[in-house]
Amino acid sequence: MAFAGKYEVDSQENYEAFMKLLSIPDEKIQKGKDFKYTTEVVQNGNDFTWSQIYPGFTLTNNFTIGQESEMETMGGKKFKTTVRLEGGKITVDFPNYHHTAEIVGGNLVEISQAGGVVFKRVSKKVA
């Protein structure tokens, strides 16, 4: 259960550029830029509940590695995709970007790529 735990954002690179690329409104970008939100991962074998907890809002996606699942974007759009586990990394193709997540030195490291912009978020384990 390598991913299970609660993580708090420690650092982000290219946050604003990536969010603008995804057409997230400036108001939401500014609110989220410095907020240390929490990611909570519950893992039971290949079954995951992945929640991002923001002030007044929680986005939760449930998925099983290797099976098609319905997911939701930060913007509220639902889509179907198959989440994979490749070399210890969770990989998923969202409608407008490719996302990976892995555990490095006990930290959750997430990388999202689209249109030449690479957004990197590192979250430290808090529970």
Q: Per-residue pLDDT tens for 18-64?
A: 988 888 888 888 877 777 789 999 999 999 999 999 877 899 999 99
Q: What average pLDDT is seen over the chain?
A: 92
* Per-residue pLDDT at 57: 83
The CA distances from residue 36 to 46, 53, 63, 102, in Å, are 28, 10, 25, 19
Strands 68-72, 107-114: pairing is unpaired
pLDDT at 79: 95
- pTM score: 0.90
Residue 122 structure tokens: 């590192």
pLDDT at 64: 97
